[in-house]
Amino acid sequence: MRLLIAMMKHETNTFSPVETGWQRFVEWGAHLGPAARAAYEGTAMPMGAYIELAKAAGAEIVTPVAAEAMPSGPVAAAAYDKMADAILDAAPGCDAALLDLHGAMVAENTGDGEGTLLERLRQRCPGLPIAVTLDLHCNLTQRMVDNCTAMIGYKTYPHTDMHVVGEQIGRVLMRSLKGEVAPVMAWGNRPILAQTLRMGTDDEPMRALIQLAREIETRPGILAATIFGGFPMADIPEAGISAVVVADGDQAAAQRAVDELLDAAWAEREEFAYRHEPIGQALGRAEALTDGPILLLDHADNCGSGGNQDVMTVLKAVMEQGLEDVAVAAVWDPVAVQELMQAGIGREVTIKLGGRTSMPAIGAQGEPLEVTGRVRTLSDGDWIVRGPMYTGVHVHMGPTAVLDTGKVKIVIVSRHHEPWDQGVFTSVGIDPASTRYLLLKSRIHYRAGFAPIARHTITLDGVGVTTSDNRILTYRNLRRPIYPLDPI
């Protein structure tokens, strides 16, 4: 048996000014051919699970590409074609394909990156059995469902179950190849543009929906059940909440389960809208707390959802508030990093930090922040994730520096990276567990690495293209009406 195993992932924020060419995938760690297998074998990723299943079956393994980039603007056509063509060219002669995809990829040449790939794959190899893992923030489309055999999405946010779901859907495909099951799928959606900050699976309303999906999977004949929160910053018709269920030959049972999941989501639609709070008020609450670490979330500038990671609004407010013993991860500013490297460790410098990117989608200009401090640490920015999310994956933050103002230690990186693991601090000599305040440019993924040490968490509503107020974004392609943008 010959199995095609590949990864092609990007969460596209169509409002983001950050360009997404092939180089952005390379910076995360794009791999072609045998290098793709070497990079992900033994990791806690879906591709790692696929490789384990293939080895157990004694199959020949073909890994044409493993490519992922931090969320950003639409994927360049050349980059999309490079990844898609690698998969398509490797498919002839394979008995099945196991793909690690995202579900919210928008490219210059297609608004449905995953659906287009799967459709072209089936055209190239009609009837090819295909299993797919998808992110919880997938914007599911008819084209995706029509062109694969079985699919599943993560049931955790932060995504700590990637290997688990990869193994689950991989086993479904392997059983179908043996004739033990006959997978059929049903899917649907509801007009809810859920806010990402309201999708944490440890919180309501998502927790109950995930529990329902898990319960559905225990029913006879059900092979997989998924509820997707969707990705609201992709301006495409299908953005929003959806569900898919895989059943063993029983299409009606799959559809009933899909409707049950979506009806439950619709009943809780008001809980998917985020309530805002003035920054000053939130910082006042933070200052009154007596025990730390206290997590401060700059969620509107989260590169993990396509943010610039160089908006200074929240950091400026924290410094003006006079908070002490603060560690910040991370500000993207490769120019500032080079200035600090030229100065050298121990030198006191004054630099203009961040604010290098304008955000036309929200009518905002980049505004740098003048900061004076001592160069504390310089690093190549390379480390390995040891926490529960992306376990075993190499991180490449690029040349990295820490600027210490006396009250605030700022981790400054040359490549975008969301702080979902404590390594973003420990790799540059900062112990997050002994720091009073941790200012993180993150939404929910921070929980994977930092929830175990956090005493309190406070969201700070700053500025950025990952805003939690979708009303300030101009949607042109999104289906309407949709809650909460419209009164339905």
Task: Please give the full DSSP string across 314-348, using - where no structure is assigned.
Answer: HHHHHHHHT--SEEEEEEE-HHHHHHHHHH-TT-E
pLDDT value for 140? 98
Q: What's the confidence (pLDDT) of residue 163?
A: 98
Closest CA to 356 of 1, 12, 18, 14: 18
Do the beta carbons of residue 371 and residue 410 sit within 8 Å? Answer: yes
**Quick check: helix, strand or coil at residue 386?**
coil
pLDDT recorded at residue 243: 98
Residues 149-185 as b/e (b if ≥16 CB within 10 A, e otherwise) read: bbbbbbbbbbbbbbbbbbbbbbbbbbbbbeeebebbb
pLDDT at 205: 97
Burial of 280 (C-beta count, 10 Å sphere; 0-12/13-18/19+)? exposed
Q: What's the angle, vertex CA 289, arms to CA 325 and CA 330, rounded to 5?
A: 40
Instruction: In whole angstroms, give the CA distance from residue 13 to residue 307.
Output: 8
- Token pair in block for residue 59: 């199959």
The residue extents of the domains of the chain are: 2-272, 279-468
Q: How many residues does the chain have?
A: 488
Q: What is the dihedral of CA 115, 116, 120, 123, to 10 degrees?
A: 60
> For residue 284, what pLDDT is reported?
96
Cα 466 to Cα 444: distance, rounded to the nearest angstrom: 13
Closest by alpha carbon to 138, among 227, 16, 18? Answer: 227
CB 120 within 8 A of CB 66: no
Q: How far apart are CA 388 and CA 483, in angstroms?
A: 33
Phi, psi angles (nearest 5°) of residue 120? -65, -35
Task: Kindly provide the residue ranges of all beta strands, DSSP E only, lying in 170-261, ordered along the sequence.
Answer: 183-189, 222-228, 242-248
CB 399 within 8 A of CB 381: yes
Residue segments in the chain with a per-residue pLDDT below the cut of 70: none
- Return phi, psi of residue 326, to 5°: -115, 135
pLDDT at position 374: 98
The confidence score (pLDDT) of residue 413 equals 98
Contact present, 137 and 272 (Cβ < 8 Å)? no
Residues 254 and 266: their CA atoms lie apart, in Å, by 19
d(CA 8, CA 54): 19
Amino acid (1-letter code) at residue 378: L
The answer to whether 8 and 121 are in contact (CB under 8 A) is no
Residues paired with 98 in a beta bridge: 5, 131
Distance CA 88, CA 6 (A): 11
d(CA 57, CA 46): 17
Q: Which residues pair with 184 in a beta bridge?
A: 247
The pLDDT of residue 36 = 98
**What is the pLDDT, as a whole number, of residue 385?**
95
**Pair 336, 353: CB distance under 8 Å:** yes
User: How would you classify residue 179: left for phi > 0, otherwise alpha for psi between -120 and 50, otherwise beta?
Assistant: left
The answer to whether 74 and 112 have CB atoms below 8 angstroms apart is: no
Name the 3-class secondary structure at 166.
helix
Phi and psi angles of residue 366, each rounded to the nearest 5 degrees, phi first: -70, 135
CA 12, CA 231: separation in Å to the nearest integer? 9
Question: Residue 18's pLDDT is what?
Answer: 97
Specify the pLDDT at position 381. Answer: 97
